[in-house]
Structure 1
Amino acid sequence: LGDRHHRISIQQALAEGVADAAGLRLHDSAIPDAASPPLPADADGDINRIRWRRKAPEALWQTSGGTLHARLTVAETRLCRLEFAGDLQLQPSDWLWRLEQRLAGVSLAELRPQIERFCREAPWDAPGFGEKDIVQVAELAAAQWSLGKTLALNAAQTHALMTFAAAPQASAAALTQAQALLVPYCAKPGWCKWRHREDCIECGKCAVGEAYRLGRERGLAVTTILNYAHLEATLARLKQEGAAAYLGMCCRAFFQKRHRAFRQAGLPAILMDIGGANCYRLKQEDQAYAGQFQAEARIDLPLLRHALQALPRRTGRAK
């Protein structure tokens, strides 16, 4: 019991047990001691991971002060609840909770002005992020909900979407303007000689081949991302070529940890979560970034089909 990390983990486990029994959500108002070492990471490698119970539209936005998360539930076009969380320092510590209370029941159209009004009325101090960041993550979550409704997705499928857009309203446009589909190499079978190549011959023996077929039928340029450097180069090329938007697939942990790559590219994107083997859980992040991850991920073909249905069918089949 002399180890500080061990004491903290016991306290956290007790607190979470009480919260689960009472049906409550924990709000950690403590500001960490700058001299203290970081808390241990969980199985995904995330620090201060958010454990929301129900699947719902969820967005994230990285700032210099940390990562800000937002999750919402909507009835018709009004917010039932909008929740914020993140690895951030904020005073007063209950400020985000009070913002959540203010936003309950407001229409989605009033989301931005209500947040801006609350920021003016309730003094707060948050190093590294501000009003624009809160508006950004809230509107990204709202855009994700709208996408789910447009595509007639269930709650789990909507949760599996990850949207990126400097202007959240551009997320919807990405559905009809996407010109490329990016697939992770880790979703190709380990036995496939095309696993570490950008292309696919659509042999019909795996889900990736079907993804290539579906994407090409819609006129998308489909590319297998071979490593992290290749992702950066591919996004830079798409931007240089004037692509309006793209679709892609990656795990949620990668989207959070490598958010910078998507932000630097500046292209609207709709990303779909993948299942199966996860390099973060297997603690093989470095191998994955280098293109040497050996395990196999699993893409969500039903979700991809839903997303591609919204794309206009272009003349000719992309190669």
Structure 2
Amino acid sequence: ILFTPTCLGWEIYADKTASGIGDLKRDLDRLARRICNGAVAGLRRLGVNAEFRPKNDIEVNGRKISGTGGTERGTSFMYQGTLLVDFDVDLMLRTLRIPVEKLKDKEVESVKQRVTCLKWELGYVPPLQDIKSAIAEGFAEVLGVEFEAEGLYPCEKELFEERLPYFQSDDWVYMIEPPEDTEGQVTAVRKTPGGLIRVSLALNVPGNFIVSSFITGDFQIFPQRAVMDLEARLKNLPADDESIARAVRSFFEETGARIFGVEPEDLIELIYEAVKKKAFAVLGVTLEEANHLMTVNFMPDEILSQHFDYLLLPYCAKLVDCDYRKVEGCTMCGACSIGDLYELADELHIPVRTIQSYEHLIETIEEFKAKGARGYVGSCCEGFYNKHHDDFVNTGVPALLIDIDDSTCYELGEEQEAYLGNFEGQTTLKKDLMIRIIRALHERGRIGGVNLH
């Protein structure tokens, strides 16, 4: 839950036999709907046309305004929600660890289109007490009860004050902390005939399920709210191939939704790719680092069945005034990030080439392919990968590509110069990550070992 000063929390604590609740205690889906409809009724009193959206969201015209959830203990239960009074999109994206710096303006806008808040709907922020009163009246109406405003009983207040230091302590805050690198954000992106699609998933690795998802891009979808509905369908979904394929296919079949230029199978494959990035852990790669890896002609969970025979590095990572920028070779002087990779390749006897242009890339891949090479490790920016994804695939050669660390020709609007080999900027390789991956592959006998000279 992302809870900020511009959110209002609401909670219902009750016995399972309470009025309006008892008949639903064995049907959690209907219970969620009943309670959420109380918040819906409250929002409507404020002039907001809210509705319940399964499994547990409240929306306004297809845009989420409140997330909800609950738990139970013994004969009692608690159900709560977080109402967005105002909203900071950038804060949400950073908190959810979505790579904001890689989202295009259209993608950020698409995120805004699936979330809303009271301020956006009403044009102003009502007084907090008015919001609280409206929500309380909505719950009273739907649950058929009357509320009386009271403080804590003396015994409750005493217990609260006694326990508060513990609930403020690190022992409580970090008591349930997932094992390192078992929860996090995984992302996959692809340029399709219908536009760029980026799938970002919050993944629970031990439970192997999708916690939540964001699907962004510059594609056209009809109806517009279909993206949000699909994301709701993916929530808490088992992260296995069969469950993902069934959920996506049934969604498009049942709703009739369409993404122009994109087939459901394209989306399924992209979700597969994002989920399977957890498999890079065998190379000592964290979930966060896995988002910098891109695969060609194989899925991430097939990494240990691939063999990579050579290393391709971009000329733009060499110093602008380096004598070797436009030719093969490296003095390994240590002045740029590429030298250490050449040194490692020499140590492990891995053929390495500096790629000078797009044409040179394809020529080099075909050259090594003719010599019996089975795959390669390389480095390029996400923009280049997206634009030339089909070209990479059409070579038929498996590749593991590692993203570049800073501003690239695509971000600077100089991709045509780079295509021709005339980009005059300098980029930085993710050197440490590349070295770690190459060494891990070498230890497992998955890189080098073939004479390609």
What's the TM-score, normalizing by structure 2?
0.55
Whether the aligned pair in 2 keeps the contact of 1:59 and 1:163 (CA below 8 Å) is: no
Q: Which of 91, 96, 103 matches 2:222?
A: 91
Aligned to 1:144: 277
Over 6 Å off, 4+ runs: 316-319
How far is the alpha carbon of 1:274 from its aligned partner? Answer: 1.2
Whether the aligned pair in 2 keeps the contact of 1:140 and 1:164 (CA below 8 Å) is: no
Whether the aligned pair in 1 keeps the contact of 2:380 and 2:404 (CA below 8 Å) is: yes
Aligned to 1:12: none
Aligned to 1:117: 250
What is the aligned-residue RMSD (CA, Å)?
3.1
What is the CA–CA distance in structure 1 between the aligned matches of 2:411 and 2:216, rounded to whole Å? 22
How far is the alpha carbon of 1:170 from its aligned partner? Answer: 6.5
Q: Which of 156, 159, 181 matches 2:311?
A: 181
Aligned to 1:7: none
Whether the aligned pair in 2 keeps the contact of 1:143 and 1:172 (CA below 8 Å) is: no
Structure 2: gaps (5+ residues): 1-85, 94-100, 112-183
Report Cα offsets for 1:233-265 as digits up to 9, x if no partner. Answer: 223334444433221111122222332322322
Whether the aligned pair in 1 keeps the contact of 2:279 and 2:300 (CA below 8 Å) is: no
How far is the alpha carbon of 1:285 from its aligned partner? Answer: 2.3
How far is the alpha carbon of 1:47 from its aligned partner? Answer: 6.5
How far is the alpha carbon of 1:171 from its aligned partner? Answer: 4.9
Aligned to 2:435: 305
How far is the alpha carbon of 1:137 from its aligned partner? Answer: 0.8
Task: Tell whether 2:180 aligns with 1:57.
Answer: no
Give the aligned residue type for 1:135: I
Aligned to 2:329: 199
Task: Tell whether 2:290 aligns with 1:158.
Answer: yes
Alignment of 1:213-252 (within 5 A): 213-252=343-382
Report Cα offsets for 1:214-233 as digits up to 9, x if no partner. Answer: 23444432111101111122
Whether the aligned pair in 2 keeps the contact of 1:181 and 1:247 (CA below 8 Å) is: yes
Alignment of 1:243-262 (within 5 A): 243-262=373-392
Change (3 A) 1:22 1:84: closer
What is the CA–CA distance in structure 2 between the aligned matches of 1:111 and 1:95, rounded to whole Å? 17
Structure 1: gaps (5+ residues): 1-17, 26-42
Aligned to 2:201: 72
What is the CA–CA distance in structure 2 between the aligned matches of 1:169 and 1:277, rounded to whole Å? 26
What is the CA–CA distance in structure 1 between the aligned matches of 2:288 and 2:265, rounded to whole Å? 28
What is the CA–CA distance in structure 2 between the aligned matches of 1:57 and 1:282, rounded to whole Å? 26
Change (3 A) 1:21 1:177: closer
Report Cα offsets for 1:113-171 as digits up to 9, x if no partner. Answer: 33233333332223211111011111111222321x22333454222222233x53575
Change (3 A) 1:23 1:277: closer
Change (3 A) 1:308 1:318: farther
Report Cα offsets for 1:29-86 as digits up to 9, x if no partner. Answer: xxxxxxxxxxxxxx9895624588xx83221223222222211121122211232122
Whether the aligned pair in 1 keeps the contact of 2:237 and 2:244 (CA below 8 Å) is: yes
SS at match of 2:311: strand
283-292 vs 151-160, which moves further: 151-160
What is the CA–CA distance in structure 1 between the aligned matches of 2:91 and 2:104, rounded to whole Å? 24
What is the CA–CA distance in structure 1 between the aligned matches of 2:277 and 2:408, rounded to whole Å? 24
Give the aligned residue type for 2:290: T
What is the CA–CA distance in structure 2 between the aligned matches of 1:125 and 1:299, rounded to whole Å? 39
Change (3 A) 1:232 1:99: same
What is the CA–CA distance in structure 1 between the aligned matches of 2:212 and 2:348, rounded to whole Å? 37
Percent sequence identity over matched residues?
A: 27
Task: Tell whether 2:260 aligns with 1:132.
Answer: no
Aligned to 1:28: none
Q: Tell me the number of residue pairs that the alignment of Structure 1 and Structure 2 aligns.
A: 280
What is the CA–CA distance in structure 2 between the aligned matches of 1:295 and 1:317, rounded to whole Å? 34
SS at match of 2:258: coil
* Greater C-alpha Rg: 2
Whether the aligned pair in 1 keeps the contact of 2:309 and 2:450 (CA below 8 Å) is: no
108-117 vs 95-104, which moves further: 108-117
Whether the aligned pair in 1 keeps the contact of 2:382 and 2:403 (CA below 8 Å) is: yes
Aligned to 1:20: 88
Give the aligned residue type for 1:229: E
SS at match of 1:297: coil
Q: Which of 410, 414, 422 matches 1:292?
A: 422
SS at match of 1:200: coil
Aligned to 1:36: none
Change (3 A) 1:125 1:180: same
Task: Tell whether 2:236 aligns with 1:105.
Answer: yes
Whether the aligned pair in 2 keeps the contact of 1:217 and 1:317 (CA below 8 Å) is: no
What's the TM-score, normalizing by structure 1?
0.76
Give the aligned residue type for 2:323: K
How far is the alpha carbon of 1:208 from its aligned partner? Answer: 1.1
